[in-house]
Structure 1
Amino acid sequence: MRLPALLILSFLTLSPALAADTRPNVLLMMADDLAATLQCFDYSQAKTPNLDALARRSVVFTRTYCQFPHCNPSRSSMMSGLRPNTTRVTNNEDNLYTNIPDVLTLPHHFRNNGYATARCGKIFHLGVPTGLESMDDPQAWDFGTPFKSELPYPLKRESSVKVKTGKKQGLPWQEIPGGDDQLVDGNFAKTAIEWLGKRDKSKPFFLAVGFHRPHMPLVAPAQYFDMYPLKNITLPEAPANDEADIPAPARNGAVPGYALESTPEQRRAAIRAYLACVSYVDAQAGRLLDAIKQMGLDDNTIIIFTSDHGWHLGEHGLWHKRSLFEECARVPFIMHTPGMQTGGKRSQSLVELLDVYPTLCELCGVPAPTHLQGLSLTPVLRDPAASIQDAAFTQARRGADAEFWGRTIRTARWRCTEWDEGKNGIELYDHDKDPQEYKNLANDPQHAKTLKELRARLAEKLPPIVK
């Protein structure tokens, strides 16, 4: 049996039987609709002490990108190790198992290889807050929490923040009384901790905990709203002409009711609510991390925290997902391995969510399936200054009827985006000079060579999706 990479790094020599018993556990925590809005990702408004503490003993990957900024497509890609133009899952109704009947997902593969597997919450797609649209892999889990509606919510607490509402109220939000377990994420953390205590201890475990928040509706216990005085919330700044050079498909699909015509005060209240939900998720992650430590599992557990895709909080006038701008394609990604010598380091290596599957296989001594389209991150875990790839790729559908198809490449310096292979718009942004992607350079002759090269890579890597 091939030894786990993390044990190789420790220069340990184990017999096959002993290695099988001591393979590392996996705790995968995944938030929903979470942009890189954590303090450890330099988002100063966020209060995320538990994830910040995890980051201080982990490698923080600052350039990690989803493959499709929509729940089901992103999760299907990450869990199968296949790009969306292979899975052909491009909306929440597409079924991965219909498109690829013999697909071998990450947790299913670990279960086949002797791991005790459990799911608490949303790992594969699950509609929020009703529990509909379940796309779970039933062969992946020894244990899975039942899908159930989160509705109705507890009575709304009278908020200290008074925001004048009208026809255009911005994003819906609600402060509720009571503790964390009033909402499903608290119960997911609680159930996961209970499962850890009752699990089959003769096997290593693969525990996946998927938090619903900060997915809308933006509901959290009142204590998390109280962490964010409205006066301290700031809106993103942008040039007055920011949207003038953005192609129509890149701006399409943002629902007018989502704060496009709301007041600045309403938009600040929406950001406050989003951050309250982020802090609520941080608290549930903290409960799990504390349990892992108290149970003596910390020395042999790989820990990952990430999200299915990013989200817009007013950048470029957008308040949702499904765009191909940095805020939506980029996700937070924190990874800790037992005994790692690089804890607290930050990596600018370009990473895709596709890379999770092969990385965990290598670290756990599980043979990687030959179909995987991502790369193992183990070289970067050893040396955060290393790089395993020079580009990350994301695809999207935009518009009320998903009539526009987009694809983007992100390199260390550039982002190049095409809509319908360029027929409905092209974007080029220089991240060295314009990290907020305010100035579209696609029509600048000085960058024609760069644009041509990047578009050629897009055409080669991401051919049009055939439905």
Structure 2
Amino acid sequence: MHTPNHDGLAKKSLLLRRGYCQYAVCGPSRASALTGRRPDSTHVYDLHHYWRKEGGNFTTIPQFFKDNGYNTIGMGKIFHPGIASVVKLRQAYHSCVSWIDDEIGRILKALEDEGLADDTIVSFWGDHGWALGENGEWEKQTNFEIATHVPFMVRVPGLTDHGVKMNKPTELVDLFPTLVEAEGLPKLQRCPVNVHNVKVCAEGDSMVPLMKNPNDGSWKQAAYSQYAHHLEGHGSFMGCTVRTDRYRYTEWPEFDFNSHQPTKQQGAELYDHQKDPWETENKADDQS
């Protein structure tokens, strides 16, 4: 695909080659990313529940900056309104990418024309990946790499002007604390265990240190995602997956959606990305 504007933005950004969403569905992923909290804190696992009612009256990224004196403007689909969309053909998918690339170009040109490019932080991210037949799947709604791996980059004038390429695992919950620190505001506190009564906190990490030193040895070694399955006659399960540099490991415990706690373990998946990048051989039961 020809994406000159994506490429141009990447050359002046912290390019996060190993960025992951926390839930491969629009609503739960956006609720997580825009509050800086994981799905088990927002309590949103589908397109029908609202995080302010389920998880708590949390402060979002736009709300935080508005409360700190910034003008915030939203357009299009910010949080999911409950209407699912499906892209049915690879050609349509590629056309969508080309259209988005053109929109990015329009935004970046407007910043240049208005003299704002050197004074504007730009973040670009997707709320989930997309399967086009890989693993026998279409769309998203799994814990596979193709569904959880997302495009992710952040341009901060003065810090990423020459481009920074990053191969360490990062997560969308890292965006909120990153924007806050990059703008020079007081850092967000780490969310406590009982998160539901705390309006402003983060469960991710600021990526500003990576902009200064992409080889920072103190950075996290794994990214975490999850996805729920409800099987009629068998119960509800929560797939919890961890992605390290080499492996993806997923456990499938039964899940109590009232207490939001896992119970009995029912299965596992283990994929070795060094040997099996398309995740076709489950090695969880391989004793060798």
Shorter-chain TM-score above 0.5:
yes
Task: Name which of 426, 429, 437 aligns with 2:268.
Answer: 426
- State which structure, 1 or 2, has the greater radius of gyration over its C-alpha atoms: 1
Alignment equivalent of 1:441, drawn from 271, 275, 283: 283
The residue type paired with residue 332 of structure 1 is P
Task: Provide the rounded CA distance (Å) in 1 between the counterparts of 2:109 and 2:140.
Answer: 32
Unaligned runs of 5+ in 2: 190-200, 255-263
> Which of 298, 312, 316 is residue 135 of structure 2 equivalent to?
316
Conserved 8 A contact 1:362-1:368 = yes
**Secondary structure, in 3 states, of the residue corresponding to 1:420?**
strand
Identify if the C-alpha distance between structure 1 residues 341 and 87 changes in structure 2 by more than 3 Å, giving closer, same or farther. Answer: closer
Distance 2:141 2:230 in 1: 9
Deviating beyond 6 angstroms after TM superposition, the runs of 4 or more aligned structure 1 residues are none
Q: TM-score, normalised by structure 1?
A: 0.54
Q: Is the 2:130–2:146 Cα contact (8 Å) retained in structure 1?
A: yes
Between the aligned partners of 2:18 and 2:127, the Cα distance in structure 1 is 14
Q: Is the 8 A contact 1:59 1:342 kept in 2?
A: no
| SS of the residue 1:412 aligns to | coil
Contact 1:323 1:398 in 2 (8 A): no
Q: What is the deviation of 1:103?
A: 1.2
* 1:47 Cα deviation from its structure 2 partner: 2.0
Cα deviation, 1:388-419, whole Å, max 9, x if unaligned, reads 20111001013577933211000111100112
The answer to whether structure 1 residue 406 and structure 2 residue 248 are counterparts is no
Residue 71 of structure 2 aligns to which amino acid in structure 1? A
**What's the offset of the Cα at 1:59?**
2.0
Matched residue, 2:226: 395
Partner of 1:50: 5
Measure, in 1, the Cα distance between the counterparts of 2:152 and 2:25: 17
Q: Match of 1:442, as an amino acid?
A: A
In structure 2, the CA distance between the partners of 1:369 and 1:385, relative to structure 1 (3 Å rule), is closer
Q: Verify: 1:375 aligned to 2:193, yes or no.
A: no
Q: Distance in 1 between matches of 2:57 and 2:82?
A: 24
Alpha-carbon distance, 1:320 to partner: 1.5
Contact 2:14–2:160 (CA<8 Å) still a contact in 1? no
In the alignment, the residues of structure 2 paired with residue 58 and residue 308 of structure 1 have an alpha-carbon distance, to the nearest angstrom, of 19
The answer (yes or no) to whether the contact 1:83–1:354 under 8 Å persists in 2 is: yes
TM-score between the two structures when normalised by the length of structure 2? 0.86
Query: What is the rounded CA distance, in whole Å, between the counterparts of 2:216 and 2:97 in structure 1?
Result: 30
Change (3 A) 1:384 1:71: same
- SS of the aligned residue for 1:395 comes to strand
Structure 1 gaps of 5+ residues are 1-45, 130-214, 219-257, 259-269, 447-467
CA distance in structure 2 between the aligned counterparts of 1:341 and 1:334, rounded to whole angstroms: 10
Q: Give the distance between the partners of 1:74 and 1:318, measured in 2 at CA.
A: 19
SS at match of 1:331: coil
1:67 matched residue in structure 2: 22
User: How far has the Cα of 1:373 moved from its partner?
Assistant: 0.6
Between the aligned partners of 2:55 and 2:240, the Cα distance in structure 1 is 22
Question: 2:39 aligned with 1:84, yes or no?
Answer: yes
Q: Counterparts of 2:183 and 2:10 in 1: how far apart (Å)?
A: 21
- Deviation of 1:127 (Å): 4.2
Tell me what 2:158 maps to: 339
Number of corresponding residues: 265
Deviations 1:175-232 (A, max 9, x none): xxxxxxxxxxxxxxxxxxxxxxxxxxxxxxxxxxxxxxxx53x4xxxxxxxxxxxxxx
Checking the alignment, whether the CA contact within 8 Å between 2:42 and 2:56 is kept in structure 1 is: no
Q: Deviations over 1:44-92 (max 9, x none)?
A: xx22111111112222111011111111111111111111111111111
User: 1-side partners of 2:163 and 2:157: how far apart?
Assistant: 13
Percent of aligned pairs with the same amino acid: 41
Contact 2:12 2:160 in 1 (8 A): no
Deviation of 1:382 after TM superposition, in Å, equals 1.1
Secondary structure of 2:162's aligned partner: coil
Query: Partner letter of residue 382 of structure 1?
Result: K
Cα deviations by residue, 1:255-310 (Å, 9 ceiling, x for unpaired): xxx7xxxxxxxxxxx11111111111111111111101111000111111111111
Identify if the C-alpha distance between structure 1 residues 394 and 102 changes in structure 2 by more than 3 Å, giving closer, same or farther.
Answer: same
Q: CA RMSD in A?
A: 1.9
Greater strand share, structure number: 2
Matches within 5 A, 1:6-405: 46-128=1-83, 216=86, 218=87, 270-341=89-160, 343-370=162-189, 371-386=201-216, 388-399=219-230, 403-405=236-238
Name the SS of the counterpart of 2:181 in structure 1.
Answer: helix
CA distance in 2, matches of 1:66, 1:122: 17
Choose 290-299 or 413-422, whichever is displaced more: 413-422
